Amino acid sequence: MTNGWVDIKNTDMMLIMGGNPAENHPCGFKWAIEAKRNRNAKIISVDPRFTRTSAVADLFCQIRAGSDIAFLGGVINYAIENNRIAHEYLVNFTNAAFAVNNAFKLPGDTDGVFSGFDAGKFTYDRSTWNYAGPGAAVPAGAAPGALPPMPANVDYDLTLQNPNCVFQLLKKHYSRYTPEMVERITGIPKAQFLKAADTYTSIRKDGDMKQVGTVIYAVGWTHHSFGTQIIRTAAMLQLLLGNVGRAGGGVNALRGHSNIQGATDMAGLYDTLPGYLKVPTPADANFDAWMKRATPTSSQPAPWQSWNYYSNTSKFTVSLMKAFYGDAATKQNDWAFDYLPKVDRDYSWTYLWNDMYDGKVKGMLAFGMNGVAIGPDTNKNIDALKKAEWLVVGEIYPDETSEFWRSPRVLAQGDQNQIQTTVYRLPCAGFAEKDGSFSNSARWLLWKNTAVPLPGDCRLDHGIVAQIFLKVRELYNKEGGKFPDPILNLTWAYSEPQNPPLFEVLKEMNGKALADLEDPATKQQIKAGQQLPGFAWLKDDGTTSCGIWIYSGAYTEAGNQTARRDPSDPSGMGVHPGWGWSWPANRRVLYNRASCDVAGKPWDPSRKQVWWNEDSKKWVGNDVPDFKADSPPKDHMGPFIMNAEGVGRIFAPLSAFADGPFPEFYEPIESPLANLLHPERSTNPVVTKFKDTDDKFGTVKDFPIICTTFRLTEHYHYWTKNNPMNVQLVPEPFIEMAAEMADEMGIRGGEKVKVSSARGEYIAKAMVTKRIKSMLIDGKKTYQIGIPFHWGYRGIAEDEGKTARDLANQLTHTATDPNAHTPEFKGFLVKVEKV
């Protein structure tokens, strides 16, 4: 989230789309209700189904799953056409005025792809996706295929009239997303769409800048083969309306689990290092080459300034290497650059399972996840596990993954006895059985204490991992090996190596001084060995170590900041500066400089976050200013300090995204019709599909119904089918379908139906409801169904043989988003039959 949970109470307008927070985030949703109760805020709910969120929304639009970009693009078009935009914000705080390379072409002009598309390799040469200006040429001697840098000084036109400026390109691009086109693609009737667009953009009626709107989403947006671009569209809309950086605004991702934010922060993905640092690739010859590629250079109109905070990348990275390898990382050995694996290709989830399917991955440690159930195409994953030599599962319940040979299809095939995989199931600790911190969606780190002792033979997950590591290190010590250095030199300075205390891990993440340090400006001193107060102290000379730069400040000499529990909120704006600790630097709303006009005065005096204090010549406020504290407004430093441009990116240049600098609507991989904008280029052009036996894709001829998966308040993933209370609340799996569709098929509520995709089948009882309706997609009547995914073949009712033993992901396919690598769980094709 750019903002935070509590901050939602400050909003006037909520577009909740690709998420169902009332269902999945009921506790956080209180703030949406607060906004309604105290500010008369409105909620617009856009969803394939009328959800619990829709139940408290002021306007509901039923959208075809996967057509979100068409809707959002339509809203952008509406905002521009009706002048519902934040003009001053747009010109000064975004790249709207930046001129773009003349060679850049929009998909409207080039058959549905952006300029630079290689139709053979399904990739883009992104060199034209750049700003215009001096210095934007590929430097001599760069690696072949290297992208040019952004121009140091960007050409610009503050009147926004230049036909090649970002704003004009944006306008041109989305002028194709007319209300009529939106209706044909999304199935939302034109009048209803216009009502939604009018309601949302009404906050900028007549140029008013006081009101704020927020966009709230979750995995309903990420689970698509163009998920990242949906979020991009929302971000652009928010920039256009001047909603980013402001209390009650922003683009707010609601994370599905209590600590998913922490998992991403800590590099749960293969292509980042902790703190979103870029991983080295084989093309990076040494540490400096890596840093050169990873560190952006500032790029903005000549009279403006850009802080370009990522220019500090080497400080973050060297400190990280010192945290990893301690004294073994020295300037002489390139900060142990050679110890790091070099990422040569896509190692994301579906690729890992595919590698196991292909026999390349021999074993798996599965902790804190039920891999067979949560990934797409369950049957493929099970087939992959059949080929693995070993599987270690650490779980709190016997789950589907650790008993993958009991899946309905394996039972049907009867080849259980041929499976040779050795499975070790280790009882692990539940969240209440260990301490540690959660990083929530609002980027708040909140320490928790152990609530109950470990039952039986359970062990802490990280203790198990630590003991495996120590054993491996012992083997390397004894037997040597090809490259023992990264293992033998890994820092492991915990008071209890077998079970590292988590507060020590947090201290390590925060970072410490390795030598006596002094801030030249304030003369503040830090002794060697002391905890760092924040990432501003990080150095790239080896005198600091820090496990994740954005968490620096979480555990200082003052103690564990994440354990703070001061509920006071002096501003009344839900900042709660003494409650836990949020990254970065305990800042609650990111880019909050943008909450002020160019002169540094808050857009809305009743919601003052930060402001320029002319007397002290400093940015001050109720929140920690996300800005260079002493940069006066007249210097025109951009508020988006993490971008090299200093401004918000309506146009995302160069390598930012794999599939285009502007989001374009593409159909889901399995879709009932060809893309109405460009039928020949229907789906995301850079998405590729696996071609194994299990990777089958269906067409509308055989599978006419659109299917989406979802979650229920009453259940938590695949856990709570083991809890009698939750089982009582919702005892059985079901399939939500429109009453009209059920009537046509002669299905009554509670009767069993079979849903089949090209991959597999799913049988459950029908939930016949008015909350899903038929829709006209390009004039053709189309139905959608929804499947809550919480059941499987282990659980209270499952063990008693009372419910279907299918996993919903038997239906889903493995095509993923090219940027985030998230599979397309939502909006695939199925057929429905009465059993």
Partner 1 sequence: MSQETMRIQKMSAHAGAIPGEDTQRTYVVSKLIDTTTCIGCKACEVACMEWNDLPFGETVFDNTYQTMPETRWNYWNLILFNEHEREDGSLQWLMRKNQCMHCADPGCLAACPSDGAIIQYANGIVDFQQANCIGCGYCITGCPFNIPKFNPQTKRVYKCTLCADRVGEGLEPACIKACPTGCLHFGSKDDMKDLAEKRATQLRDHYNFPNAGVYDPAGVGGTGVMYILHDATKPELYGGLPKDPQIPLMVKLWKGPIKWLGNIAMIGGLIGLFIHYLRFGPKDREDQDIREQIALAQEKAAKAAKEKNEEEHP
Nearer to partner 1, 24 or 643 (CB): 24
- Confirm if 649 and 94 have CB atoms less than 8 A apart: yes
Tokens representing 417 are 């006895």
Tokens representing 627 are 């800005």
Least distance (Å) between residue 773 CB and partner 1: 8
DSSP one-letter code for 190: H
What is d(CA 669, CA 815) in angstroms, rounded to the nearest whole number? Answer: 7
Q: Does 256 bind partner 1 (CB under 8 A)?
A: no
What is d(CA 448, CA 463) in angstroms, rounded to the nearest whole number? Answer: 18
Report the candidate in 614, 552, 626 with the shortest Cα–Cα distance to residue 589.
626
Report the candidate in 1, 81, 46 with the shortest Cα–Cα distance to residue 249.
1
**Site for partner 1 (CB under 8 A): which residue of 184, 278, 322, 765?**
765
Scanning 115-123, 598-606, 652-660, 723-731 for contacts with partner 1 by CB under 8 A, the matching segment is 723-731
Chain centroid to CA 607: 28
Q: Does 33 bind partner 1 (CB under 8 A)?
A: yes
Name which of residues 67 to 106 contact partner 1 (CB under 8 A): none
Residue tagged 């780190």 (tokens): 445
Scanning 202-210, 306-314, 586-594, 725-733 for contacts with partner 1 by CB under 8 A, the matching segment is 725-733
Report the candidate in 297, 230, 275 with the shortest Cα–Cα distance to residue 65.
230
Scanning 31-39, 159-167, 317-325, 346-354 for contacts with partner 1 by CB under 8 A, the matching segment is 31-39
Scanning 32-40, 241-249, 332-340, 484-492 for contacts with partner 1 by CB under 8 A, the matching segment is 32-40
Q: Does 485 bind partner 1 (CB under 8 A)?
A: no
**Site for partner 1 (CB under 8 A): which residue of 311, 713, 761, 774?**
713
Tokens representing 701 are 């001829």
Maximum Cα–Cα distance for the chain, whole Å?
79
Nearer to partner 1, 13 or 637 (CB): 13
What is d(CA 670, CA 702) in angstroms, rounded to the nearest whole number? Answer: 11
Q: Does 715 bind partner 1 (CB under 8 A)?
A: no
What is d(CA 525, CA 655) in angstroms, rounded to the nearest whole number? Answer: 40
CB atoms within 10 A of CB 623: 23
- Confirm if 786 and 710 have CB atoms less than 8 A apart: yes
Nearer to partner 1, 491 or 713 (CB): 713
**Helices in 514-565 by DSSP H: which ranges?**
none
Nearer to partner 1, 521 or 725 (CB): 725
Q: Does 731 bind partner 1 (CB under 8 A)?
A: yes
Least distance (Å) between residue 772 CB and partner 1: 10
Scanning 94-102, 126-134, 340-348, 730-738 for contacts with partner 1 by CB under 8 A, the matching segment is 730-738
Binding mask 766-795 for partner 1 (x = CB under 8 A): xxxxxx------------------------
Scanning 36-44, 124-132, 334-342, 548-556 for contacts with partner 1 by CB under 8 A, the matching segment is 36-44
**Site for partner 1 (CB under 8 A): which residue of 36, 184, 593, 649?**
36
**Site for partner 1 (CB under 8 A): which residue of 12, 16, 29, 830?**
29
Q: Which H helix or E strand runs over 424? A: strand 422-427
DSSP one-letter code for 432: G
Q: Does 743 bind partner 1 (CB under 8 A)?
A: no
Report in angstroms the alpha-carbon separations of 149 from 176, 624, 647, 653, 756.
31, 32, 17, 10, 49
Q: Does 714 bind partner 1 (CB under 8 A)?
A: yes
What is d(CA 793, CA 406) in angstroms, rounded to the nearest whole number? Answer: 7
**Site for partner 1 (CB under 8 A): which residue of 368, 480, 679, 724?**
724
CB atoms within 10 A of CB 615: 6
Least distance (Å) between residue 56 CB and partner 1: 6
Q: Does 56 bind partner 1 (CB under 8 A)?
A: yes
Name which of residues 662 to 701 contact partner 1 (CB under 8 A): none
The residues of the shown chain that bind partner 1, judged by CB under 8 A, are 22-23, 26-27, 29-30, 33-34, 36-37, 40, 50, 52-56, 58, 60, 713-714, 724-725, 728-732, 734, 749-750, 765-771
